[in-house]
């Protein structure tokens, strides 16, 4: 079976097609692609997905699957959004000014 292993980082992306025997797993595809060594990745810090859905190393693959090697998030998207929302709120002094009659 043929499987594509994908990895992307700010420097670019790699799409490596590998051929595996029937019953191959995510870990088999990643090992066959040598993507970890090519990009000097920390095997403990990476994750896997199949077409965007999280997967484990032991997940069996089907012909034509795309295995994605994922990096850890540098920032939690929820925390980033909260910080942006806090920064865009008016300060208490600005709120009081708007509430006073004739402050227009």
Which structural domains are found in the chain, ordered by start?
A: 2-74 (3.10.20.30)
Q: What is the pLDDT of residue 11?
A: 83
Return the H-helix or E-strand segment holding 37.
Answer: helix 35-38
Measured between alpha carbons, how far is 23 from 20 in angstroms, rounded to an integer?
A: 8
Q: What is the pLDDT of residue 101?
A: 62
Rounded mean pLDDT for each run of 10 residues along the chain, 104 residues in total = 94 92 95 92 92 94 96 76 81 62 57
Q: What is the pTM of this model?
A: 0.69
Return the DSSP state at 24: -
CA atoms within 13 A on the CB side of 81: 3
Integer Cα distance of 80 and 4 in angstroms: 32
- pLDDT, position 51: 95
For position 21, what pLDDT does the model report? 95
Q: Which residues contact 20 (CB under 8 A, 6 or more apart)?
A: 1, 2, 3, 28, 29, 32, 61
């Amino acid at each position: 079976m043929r499987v594509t292993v994908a990895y992307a980082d700010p420097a670019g992306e790699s799409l490596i097609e590998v051929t595996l025997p029937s019953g191959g797993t995510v870990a088999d595809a990643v090992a066959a692609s040598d993507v970890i060594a090519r990009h000097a990745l920390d095997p403990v810090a990476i994750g896997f997905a199949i077409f965007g859905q999280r997967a484990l190393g032991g997940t069996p693959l089907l012909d034509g699957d795309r295995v994605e090697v994922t990096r850890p998030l540098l920032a939690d998207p929820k925390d980033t959004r909260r910080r942006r929302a806090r920064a865009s709120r008016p300060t208490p002094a600005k709120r009081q000014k708007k509430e006073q009659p004739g402050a227009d």
